[in-house]
Amino acid sequence: MRVAVTGATGFVGGEVCRAAVAAGWEVHAFGRRLADIPGATYQYWNLNGPVPRLSEVDAVIHCAAAATDAGRASQVWATNLLGTRRVLDAFPHARIVHVSSASVYDPFRPTVRAKEAEAPVARYLNAYGASKAAAERFVLNTHRDTIILRPHAVYGPGDTTLLPRLLENIRGGRLLVPGDGRARQSLTAVGGLARACLLAARSTLTGVFNIADSDTLSVDEALRGLLATAGVEATPTYLPTRLVLPLATGLEAAQRLCGRPRRIRLNRYVISQLAMERTLDITAAVDRLGHEPTPTSFTYRN
């Protein structure tokens, strides 16, 4: 099978490339950094820049995204929506596997075993959720042979987002966390997500599928597991939502007034993700797509 992978130098895209190469596929990888991906043909491609010379492929696994809860909104939209449009324009006849995010679910209320039809919604806390939702709508409305995967809290070896974000919030041996640590969470192992991407590329199904591990953990269990994996001795310390939410709202307002796109470590999006349940119903992925989830494990044996 011939497959193109965008975001190939990223956390998820890199894992997808390795899985596709291991499966014996012909892999054409694209990314924004100079790289050498064993077993794959690699080309530099900034999705908002010139389109490189492209080979004909059977499927495109679109992993490239601006996965940030802050930053300049125009850049997030340019990558997540306009970049997706350029990918579809570049591969008009290929099957599209669009890697989206569980951030398209309503951030203002708990996500409890959410089914795919519960998103997108009309309200979001930042450009990331809104742009990923808009990209989903665009893909579904303009490309017939499309499947969308929605993971949540992707973790695993080479993690460049979740674990580093936790580590930078450690102060004096304490990891400061909004909420009480009891909210349940669905996590998605990067290896499991990569396998789901390959299943989706081979499948003839269309539509949207949640992708997550077979079980759920409390925030406290997940954080302690991630910290132990990193070999970091730190204790999660929980901050009541009623106290941190007004602070986060004020910090965001001050940032807007100053016009600074720098990320705020404490913001309403972070609070919504950690202080409320964020679990996914993966029945459709298991029953229809053939996804075989494994329990959440921080031993990183994919």
Domains and CATH numbers, the chain: 2-289 (3.40.50.720)
Give the model's pLDDT for residue 286. 98
Q: Note the pLDDT tens digit of each residue in 103-118.
A: 999 999 999 999 999 9
Q: Are 274 and 219 in contact (CB under 8 A)?
A: yes
pLDDT at 169 over 60: yes
pTM: 0.94
pLDDT band at 300 (very low <50, low <70, confident <90, very high): low
Residue 59, burial from CB neighbour count under 10 angstroms (0-12, 13-18, 19+):
buried
Greater model confidence, 188 or 69: 188
Average model confidence (pLDDT) for the chain?
Answer: 92
Q: Helix, strand, coil proportions of the chain in percent (round to 5)? A: 40, 20, 40
Give the model's pLDDT for residue 302. 41
Which residues make beta-bridge pairs with 208? Answer: 148
Stretch (H or E) spanning 162: helix 162-167
Residue 220, burial from CB neighbour count under 10 angstroms (0-12, 13-18, 19+):
middle
Q: Note the pLDDT tens digit of each residue in 243-268.
A: 989 888 887 777 777 765 566 677 89
- Using alpha carbons, select from 96, 68, 77, 75 the residue that is nearest to residue 6: 96
pLDDT at 296 over 90: yes
Give the model's pLDDT for residue 1. 96
Give the model's pLDDT for residue 11. 95
Give the model's pLDDT for residue 249. 83
* Tokens encoding 118: 């519960």
